[in-house]
Chain A
């Protein structure tokens, strides 16, 4: 019983300290998403395999988790998504909608559980990646009438890769906290 209690203590937020909102340097809040988007615009030109690394999504998840505010998560997601949309050929709003929901869900989870735990971060990054890709696929088909392929196995593998990268990225971004 006490072991179960310990485990739940580890995962669920129990203290006021853990409930505290992580604060970041102001430049970090702008520079990190911008760099993530630039990475997606620039790096795959030289390394095609990095095309599938969704850094803007990982950054959205991280900031939403750490801010522990659903409204902040919504606006962070929407802003990153809209910038991403404006650099893509598709109508503006597809990534915006997608990342708004991701930001909201991530913040909702961040309010309830301890997101400092590596395993939790991995699972969250993986599941939110799957959600992001599925929702994008649904939007592209329903709104834009595009024939976007959705291979669950392929997406799951990409999700694992993105989650693995996300762990390192989150660890690095932790250092930007004030």
Chain B
């Protein structure tokens, strides 16, 4: 007993530390919260925070008005111009309109959204600097429950991790302990959204390196996590690069952009389809084919893709024009004229002329009575001359039909 009183300070310290360790150990082990202490603290603090917020709003408004009036008076005194006053008025009205627009947008979104939602205002942050948690001014008395999703018209914001009578604690999607199932819009790649502790960045985990994710692509909630309904926007891909095991996909959360003032708590979520992604533009520039080798446009004609295909077709036409069947001519018989341009010949035939075995590339024959002058003949496009391989007996080039 003397020993205890002699070391009274250390004994008290040991007892307080021990009590808190027991408290902490109990919470960690049983995964349960000491709710009573939190309810007391939150109920004591949030009304003051709300009061400060109201006072701040009023003060800022009053100071703003005073500053505006003061500026107007100065403007009137110094310049005496009506234009200055109108400009200030305009600026003030624009700012008023912006805040009104935000409220209107929220209520319009609320009316449009099939889920049942409850509007709430952010009134404070968590005390732990490493966590991303905010307090909202709606609690269990307003129907808010733990596990409910919190969103804005722009995207998801977080989830309720504790609901107290007058306020609730919302874990933001940027908190390192946050997780939600997400899916990409275009390639339908699934992953798990995790926070990084940074305001403007999140990460999508468990996406394999082989999966395709584009920068700027939207991610939506999958609805698998039991918190967020399917089809809510999460954010756009800021960067995606291969990692050691999984792809490193970073998102810019859309719900937190432009600050966090008013939010919606989803009381009853309704799953929605994920909007169809924009199909990437398939307009590809194709170089026009060389002159005289334009791809066939005849209906039913096979789609030719290589030079060999086109050459084969050309020889086939030449053979048909000359009545030659490849593979049947005896050695020494006359081969077909491979210098003919079958397209030019066909064009002339269509124009009323008779097919002429004259090669297109051959010099024009001398003008004879009755014959068409060269200038009036249909313009035959200069086709590349395909010369058979050297060697007289071998007239049919390799690749020709029947060889």
A interface list, Cβ under 8 A from B? 34, 37-38, 40-42, 44-45, 48, 51-52, 54, 56, 70-71, 74-75, 78, 82-97, 100-101, 104, 140, 143-144, 146-149
Contact = CB atoms under 8 A, between A and B. Distances in A.
A56 B127 contact: yes
Interface stretch (B32-40, B210-218, B296-304): B32-40
Interface string B125-144: 11111110111000000000
Nearest to B34: A92
Interface in B155-207: 161-162, 169, 171, 175-177, 197, 199
Contacts of A34: 45, 48
B163 to A, nearest CB: 13
B17 A97 contact: yes
Contact of A83 (B41, B48, B125, B161): B41
B42 A100 contact: no
Contacts of A88: 126-128, 131, 133
B52 interface: yes
Given A41-B124, A56-B127, A87-B126, A74 B42 contact: no
A42 B130 contact: no
A84 B28 contact: no
B27 interface: yes
B380 interface: no
Contacts of B347: none
Given A70-B13, A91-B28, A143-B28, 6 more contacts: A41-B135, A70-B9, A71-B9, A89-B131, A96-B20, A143-B24
A71 B128 contact: no
Contacts of B49: 38, 41-42
A116 B23 CA distance: 36
A56 B129 CA distance: 12
Contacts of A71: 8-9, 12
Contacts of B20: 78, 82, 93, 96-97, 100
B54 to A, nearest CB: 12
Among A48, A52, A71, the most chain B Cβ lie within 10 Å of the Cβ of A71
B266 interface: no
A25 B16 CA distance: 26
B128 to A, nearest CB: 4
Interface of B: 8-9, 12-13, 16-17, 20-21, 23-25, 27-28, 33-34, 37-38, 40-42, 45, 48-49, 52-53, 122-131, 133-135, 161-162, 169, 171, 175-177, 197, 199
A70 B13 CA distance: 8
A63 to B, nearest CB: 16
Given A92-B24, A94-B24, A41 B128 contact: no
A37 B45 contact: yes
A89 B125 contact: no
Contacts of B45: 34, 37-38, 41, 83, 87
Among A70, A85, A95, the most chain B Cβ lie within 10 Å of the Cβ of A85
A34 B127 CA distance: 12
- Of all A-B residue pairs in the complex, the 8 with the closest CB atoms, nearest first, are A93-B24, A86-B41, A91-B27, A88-B128, A70-B9, A41-B124, A93-B20, A86-B38
A42 B53 contact: yes
Nearest to B27: A91
Contacts of A83: 41, 45
Nearest to B12: A71
Among B24, B52, B124, the most chain A Cβ lie within 10 Å of the Cβ of B24
A85 to B, nearest CB: 8
A74 B16 contact: yes
A165 to B, nearest CB: 15
25 contacts: A38-B48, A38-B52, A41-B127, A42-B125, A56-B127, A70-B9, A70-B12, A78-B16, A78-B20, A84-B127, A87-B42, A87-B126, A88-B131, A89-B126, A89-B161, A90-B128, A91-B27, A92-B34, A92-B38, A93-B21, A93-B23, A97-B17, A100-B17, A104-B13, A146-B130
Given A87-B45, A89-B131, A97-B24, A41 B126 contact: yes
Contacts of B38: 86-87, 92
